[in-house]
């Protein structure tokens, strides 16, 4: 017989997710190698089509600045 710990059924732990207008924001790595405009940051995308969230200057908005954190 195998000895060991019994498996205890645990309840699912709530997770923090970013929400923007009722939709979940998925983290995405964004980078640019254009000379003079190099950047590398974590951005976000919303929806099934994968539309990335960009600012007024056309660059991606950092993930921490998008929406709000909620427990789900």
Q: How confident is the model at residue 1 (pLDDT cuts 50, 70, 90)?
A: low
Q: In this structure, is residue 37 part of a structural domain?
A: yes
Q: In this structure, is residue 62 part of a structural domain?
A: yes
Q: In this structure, is residue 40 part of a structural domain?
A: yes
Residue 68 has pLDDT above 90, yes or no: yes
Give the chain's domain count: 1
Q: In this structure, is residue 9 part of a structural domain?
A: no
Residue with tokens 């997710």: 17
Q: In this structure, is residue 1 part of a structural domain?
A: no
> What pLDDT is recorded for position 2?
67
Question: What pLDDT, in 10s, does the model give residues 19-65?
Answer: 999 899 999 999 889 888 888 999 999 988 888 888 998 888 999 99
Q: Which domain holds residue 57?
A: 26-71
60 and 53 in contact (C-beta within 8 Å)? yes
Beta strand extents in 1-72 (DSSP E only): 16-20, 23-32, 39-46, 51-52, 68-71
Q: In this structure, is residue 12 part of a structural domain?
A: no
Q: In this structure, is residue 11 part of a structural domain?
A: no
Residue 18 has pLDDT above 90, yes or no: yes
What is the reported pTM?
A: 0.71
Q: In this structure, is residue 39 part of a structural domain?
A: yes
């Amino acid at each position: 017989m195998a000895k060991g710990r019994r498996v205890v059924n645990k309840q699912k732990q709530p997770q923090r997710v970013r929400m923007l207008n009722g939709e979940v924001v998925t983290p995405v790595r964004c980078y640019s190698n254009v000379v003079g405009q190099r950047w590398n940051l974590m951005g976000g995308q919303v929806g099934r089509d994968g539309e990335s969230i960009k600012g007024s200057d056309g660059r991606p908005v950092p993930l921490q600045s998008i929406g709000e954190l909620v427990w789900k």
